[in-house]
Amino acid sequence: MGVPAALGGVFDVALTHRSFAFEQTDVVAHNERLEFLGDAILGAVVTDLIYRSHPDLTEGEMARLRAAVVNTQALAGLARDHGVGDHLRLGRGEDVSGGRAKTSLLADAFEAIVGAVYLELGLDELRRRIEPIFEVLISKALAEEFRFDSKTALQEIVVKETTELPRYRVAASGPDHDRRYIADVFVSEERYGRGTGRSKKEAEQKAAREALERFALAAKESHDARAS
């Protein structure tokens, strides 16, 4: 997508971290509202792209694929690829502490830029700019058979939805040479997923994957209810 060549207005805001805004004597807008907008728009555009490009995927598979390409690590990687860090307006302390390379800060800035492009140039132009980028990421994820960290993807969703963290409870059974693990993942004291495996890590990943599919189903039901 790239950083727009002629910066100004909403694009300056997209690249302004709150640490910079808070150091100014005059009121300066920062990018948190644009980040919120960009997060929603990006999720919708990538979901639509996956839906149209891969009609063979189930709902759960589409949710896992989207989580593989729209997450903090992936978005920060795209921000680095496009030199976003060099253009950020940071407070002195944030800049000195390496803010231009921070994963969370870069991912937030990328989402804010998406929001700015949407507001300034419209949805069609935004699609034209970002769909080719995500087509590459989607192809890589499919080639790797969705090999991504389900626990990290779930944590991001849960924190956004509830501000809490998912919790895992793991039980082991069987002899040492044939140990089996069962993991349950809880969100706000409610079990959202269960997974089994030959290692604790495998069981937790499977539990997280099941929870991701439940969140995807809940989002669909909520959308259908609003549409009816």
Q: Which of these is catalytic: 35, 94, 111, 210? A: 111
Sequence-ordered strand ranges (E) for the chain? 167-173, 180-187, 190-197
One-character DSSP codes across 109-123? HHHHHHHHHHHHH-H
Contact predicate 212/222, CB 8 Å: no
Whether 111 is catalytic: yes
3-class secondary-structure state, position 15: coil
Catalytic pick among 39, 94, 204, 213 = 39
Phi, psi of 24 (to 5 degrees): -85, 150
Are 156 and 149 in contact by the 8 Å Cβ rule? The answer is no
Residues identified as active-site = 39, 111
